[in-house]
Amino acid sequence: MKIITAYQEFKEFRNTLESISFVPTMGNLHKGHMALIDKARSYDSHINASIFINPLQFNDASDFNNYPKSLDDDIALLSKHGCDSLFIPDSSILENIKGIKAPDTAAYLCGMNRPGHFDGVLTIVNKLFEITKPTRSFFGKKDFQQLTLIKNFVKENNLPIEIISVDTVRELSGLAMSSRNNRLSESDREKASKLYETLSSIKDNSSNLSNEIIKSYKDELTKKGFDVDYLSVCDPISLKDLEDFNSKPILVAIAASISGIRLIDNVLID
């Protein structure tokens, strides 16, 4: 696997390639990321991944500083999964970067308590797209709002990039794979599976939902020690909370912290 850190060099390297399947990441890679690489391998094209911990998308300096780093393991995993090249830019990528303002969809769900987060995501993704000029790029459905915003951004700006969404990979307990899971204590990790259990239970009872029922699920999680940021039943396109729970499809999305570690997950009910 070829590793490039200088972004001028990457631009030149890019010119030698025809099509590119691009997987942007912030490192600390796990099975969820590998599902993106594996999906990329089903296309006959050069697979490129990037690792850059983007300070623009963190609201909290300590969250940014404590973001887990495991570069050697990341490189080994990517090579093992057949990634052809890895781009690891340094912070000079942020110099004179064009700031992107995320649209209204960014104000719901994770945007409610993380102002500017999606501006930061779109700003770096746009810059990475400018450099890597991907034919297609891969994003996980766990970050449903991010996926939606990137799809819409590409469409609105007529970028010739296909956005491929990849299913959430889960631990045996149902907990969605996340770089943050490594920071959970053993007992919190066990508890954290309650999030998917809650979403699955809402899905199984989707013909009988009401605001009171959703509130009772939320209260149950709070009793179990979660600090629930949101548990939202919303429209999967606008991401606005639904008034009529009988309309389908619906997205049920959750963000909750346990011992200060914020986890997100969602299920789509069709």
Are 149 and 103 within 8 A, CB to CB?
yes
What gap in Å lies between CA 3 and CA 218, rounded to an integer? 45
CB of 225 to ligand PAF, least distance (A): 26
The H or E element that residue 179 is part of is none
What gap in Å lies between CA 241 and CA 108, rounded to an integer? 8
Question: Does 84 engage in binding with ligand PAF (CB under 6 A)?
Answer: no
Among residues 153, 138, 179, which one has the least CA distance to residue 264? Answer: 179
Among residues 180, 226, 54, which one has the least CA distance to residue 124? Answer: 54
Rounded to 5 degrees, what are φ and ψ at 177?
-60, 135
> Per the structure block, which two tokens stand in for 49?
């991944």
Question: Does 148 engage in binding with ligand PAF (CB under 6 A)?
Answer: no
Helix, strand or coil, per DSSP, at residue 138? strand
Using CA atoms, how far residue 66 sits from 33, 58, 82, 192, in Å, is 20, 11, 29, 20
Considering CB under 6 A, how many residues would be counted as binding ligand PAF? Answer: 10
Question: Does 25 engage in binding with ligand PAF (CB under 6 A)?
Answer: yes
In the sheet where 162-166 sits, what is the strand order?
2-4, 85-87, 46-51, 20-25, 136-140, 162-166
CB of 140 to ligand PAF, least distance (A): 7
Question: Does 110 engage in binding with ligand PAF (CB under 6 A)?
Answer: no
- For the segment 184-223, give every residue that binds ligand PAF (CB under 6 A): none
Nearer to ligand PAF, 23 or 267 (CB): 23
Q: Which stretch binds ligand PAF (CB under 6 A): 73-81, 120-128, 163-171, 211-219?
A: 120-128
Binding-site member from 84, 143, 229, 265 for ligand PAF (CB under 6 A): 143
- For the segment 43-82, give every residue that binds ligand PAF (CB under 6 A): 54, 57
What gap in Å lies between CA 8 and CA 125, rounded to an integer? 17
CB of 30 to ligand PAF, least distance (A): 11
Question: Does 252 engage in binding with ligand PAF (CB under 6 A)?
Answer: no
What gap in Å lies between CA 148 and CA 78, rounded to an integer? 26
Question: Does 233 engage in binding with ligand PAF (CB under 6 A)?
Answer: no
Question: Does 23 engage in binding with ligand PAF (CB under 6 A)?
Answer: no
Residue labelled with tokens 């469409």: 155
Question: Does 123 engage in binding with ligand PAF (CB under 6 A)?
Answer: no
Catalytic residue check, 33: yes
Nearer to ligand PAF, 74 or 143 (CB): 143
CB of 117 to ligand PAF, least distance (A): 9
93 burial level (CB within 10 Å; 0-12, 13-18, 19+): middle
CB of 128 to ligand PAF, least distance (A): 8
Q: Which stretch binds ligand PAF (CB under 6 A): 19-27, 76-84, 203-211, 216-224?
A: 19-27
Q: Which are the catalytic amino acids?
A: 33
**Contacts to ligand PAF by CB under 6 A:** 24-26, 54, 57, 121, 124-125, 143, 146
